[in-house]
Amino acid sequence: MQIRELAVRDAYVIDLVAHGDARGRFTEWYRADVLSAAVGHALPLAQANHSVSARGALRGVHFALVPPGQAKYVYCPAGRVLDVVIDVRVGSPTFGLHDSVVLDGEQPRAVYLAEGLGHAFLSLADGSSVTYLVSSAYDPAREVGVDPLDPELGLPWPADVEFALSAKDREAPNLAQAREQGLLPTMAECEARYALLGTGG
């Protein structure tokens, strides 16, 4: 298992090792010690989610208000998705920047993103399965979205896929509107949260 930081600060890709023989394959897809050594604190586990998506399903950009925010550890055991992390933290040196990773069932890897970062993924195959661990339980009153097709974000969605979005994601504000409406977390809020987690709080 190898972990490295993405272009977006406080987001990481974890390359996993699959062990296989005639019986099938085994993958250790999450290690608390490896992740905490890289990010400086443990991931508090509050909820585990699982989605199955048809090709073209575009989910996100989603994030939760900070504090407490919602860190995510994302893994695709079957199918293929383009996973994208977006820095929506006002005041961050990488504000507006994104990075992407292909997650699939053949070359297993995972993505971790800290509280305050935006997350989206596009299913590139029918039946793509995404499992993710999150640091806080889902609270619709604290869930925020930004338009994943916002030209200002310039997210790297492939041109040969027909997108299917939820009504909520289709109606989400663009990044500039979300900033004007005070919907985006600040880097100061996020750093305070990370510092608290680093002390075990």
Residue 62 annotated as catalytic: yes
Catalytic residue among 73, 75, 132, 194: 132
- What percent helix, strand, coil does the chain show, rounded to 5? 15, 40, 45
Considering the candidates 41, 62, 98, 119, report the single residue annotated as catalytic: 62
Q: Name which of 44, 56, 1 is nearest 169 in CA terms.
A: 56
With b meaning 16 or more CB within 10 Å and e meaning fewer, what string describes 105-143? beebbbbbbbbbbbbbbbbbbeebbbbbbbbbeeeeebe
Q: Which positions are catalytic?
A: 62, 132
